[in-house]
Structure 1
Amino acid sequence: MATDVMPPSQTLLPVSQPSETSDLFPDSRSQLFRSKIQKKAQTKIDLLKFLGQGRKKLTSIETQRIISVLDETIKRIELASLFCYAADNLDRFKVVLGSELTCAIREHQRLQNNMQNLLSRLEEGGNFHREEDKEGSRINIEEQGHSLSMLKQGIISCVKNTLRHFQANPTACNTLRAELFARDPAIELLLQNLSELRAFLFERLLTTPLEENEKIHYLQEMNQRDKKNREIIAILEGELAAAIQDRDTKISNKNEIIRQLKSHLHQLEKFSGENIRRTKQEAEKQQKADYRASESRCFKLQLELQLLRTQLNTEITEHREVELALRKRKYKVETEIENWIQKYDLDMGEKQEELEQIETVYAEEKIELKDLREKLELLEQEYRQVKEERELAQKKKEEEERELAIKNRAAALIQALWKGYLVRKVLRLRKKGKKKGRKGKGKGKGQGKGQGKRQGKKGKK
């Protein structure tokens, strides 16, 4: 029976990220490396669409049957994993399960308890008979193994019978499957693995052989690219190691220089005390010599001071005469300046009158200018309003033209899609008609041959 099967959740491949070691490269090389990695990552994301499923449902009946069988197996394992929980809580599920399911679950619990007891006896018997008669223990183990195989067959048939009863009672099936917390973690892991197997099988059944070959070819190309990228990474890592080694050598050289400077500084500190003592002695000697030289120099300066005082007195008398002559000259210059000031005042009075006249004219022109500016502001406001109205009208016109173009394009696209749909529909109908015609011809020929044979047999009789 064909059933609609939904696809599994699609998983994306991991996108390669730039390596952290690219920060140690120079700027130009690191930028180039990052840009290459980003381009490769973008191409990988774009090509994931190529690996994605083109269809969402299985088309052939065989594939649908395979998936339905696997789904039914998962459902039965989910139910069978909860038989022990239902057996431990029969009082709770008795009404929902009914008498037949209750008896089947009790039988399953009994067989399971018998198997556990038998397995425990086998373990105890194996430990107990290690030091006793090996022949008797071997016979006992064979008998217990035979009974164990019989119990296994009984449990298998009991589980099948119980599952048939659950299939006839959907309410009990749904009620028991709702108890998810009571399932064993190992069973959960098994169901998870089966779900992953179902998703993988669904994906494999969706893909055609041509698509599978294209995927394999694409994966081979990706492997080759990955190999090339690894080679490039190895080369870049070698360059990085060389750069790090060069940096380490430079650091070691600088550390050696620092060590030498520290030792030299220690030697300087060691010998600085002796140098300071020597310089103090030399400074004291130099101070005594300078003191004696300064005394002789002071005596000479006193003699020079007496000579300079006599020269000062003579120059003072000369300067007094020169000062008197300069005062007379100053008086003449001041009188001339007063005359010039009077003349300047007369000229400035005339200029002031002219300036007042000009200011009156300027005030009148300023008033006219203010009126003109107010008129200009009104005109500018009107101009802005007109300009804004024109811009709004232009934008509205452009928007209408853009909407009209979009509508025309959408209408053309819809018409093209509708025409394509009609053409495909007509082609399908023609193909179906041809197939029906061929089948009808084949049936007619077969019936004619059968009737001819029957008539021949009757004639012989």
Structure 2
Amino acid sequence: MNSLEASRVLAVLDESLEDATLLSYVTTDVLDTAEQLREMLGADMVSALLRHRSALGQSAKTTLPSDTMNQSTWELVRLLKKSPATPKLKKLQMEPSPGMTQVTSYFSKLRRFAQKRLTTTVEEDSSNRQYYEEVKEREERAVSEKIQLEQKLKLQRVELHKQATQMQSTADRLRAQLHELGERTKKEMANIGASAKSVRAEDFSVFDEERGELQKELDAANATLARMREEHKEAEAGLYKSKKREQQDVESVINEYDADLGSKDEEYQAANKEYREVLDRLELLRKEYHEMHADRMEHEERERQEAQRRLEEGLRRVRINRAARVIQGGWKALKARRAAEAKKAKKEAAKKKK
């Protein structure tokens, strides 16, 4: 089948799907209330709906196909395709019947299947078949593995049931041992309570006897203490007087010490004041010494500079005098040489004349 034929087949399926979808809007409720929908759908649409309802009523009386029903259906479909009231009918949102829902679903699936088959090449179909075989083989392997795993699971369940039974028997045995141990513990606790009760009674009796003896000893000690207090009461009074007198002596000594300390403090303050005055005078003398020393150093520096200046001046004069003597000696020598040269020249000139 070429692409043109495939397109025609798909177009037919699309048209069939569209017709089925339009017919799904015409529900039983719409047919029953067609007269009330005249203003919304228009007279033509309502007339077509009434004829279709009548045809449905006639076809319901017989099981054979009805030409009237087919004709009414085709007319209604053509009207739904071109009528402007179709969107309004769609907006009613009536629940389509299960049969029409199944028909539209069937046509939609048929259209997708046909498109897939018609647009699939031989190579793609072969590849899909090979993929299907591989998936089928994997599924078979998975099923076999599932069966094996189920068998293993059954064996494990049996083993776990055995282990659970053993654990239950062990738990029952331990529970019985625990109950026996509890009963034994109760008996031992009862025996211990009875023995403890007897021991406590004996201890109470011994305690009462010892407490009586100790009370007697305490009374005797209290009597002795009272007697000793009476005996030492006079001594305590004398000691108190002695303590008072010694305390007064200590206070007088403290007062004398405070007075002596006050005088010593005054002497210390006077000595400290004198010491500070001496320090101030010493600081003043130190400042005067530093000033005098600075003046002395400045005077000596001036004298040194003056002596240096006089020395440099004397040296300069000596150098000047020495240079003058050298210049004078040179000048005299020059004059003598010139005189000798002039004299010699005269002699030579006289010789030439002769």
Return the index of the structure with the highest Cα Rg.
2
Shorter chain as denominator, the TM-score bin is 0.3 to 0.5
What is the TM-score when the length of structure 2 is the normalising length? 0.44
Q: TM-score, normalised by structure 1?
A: 0.35
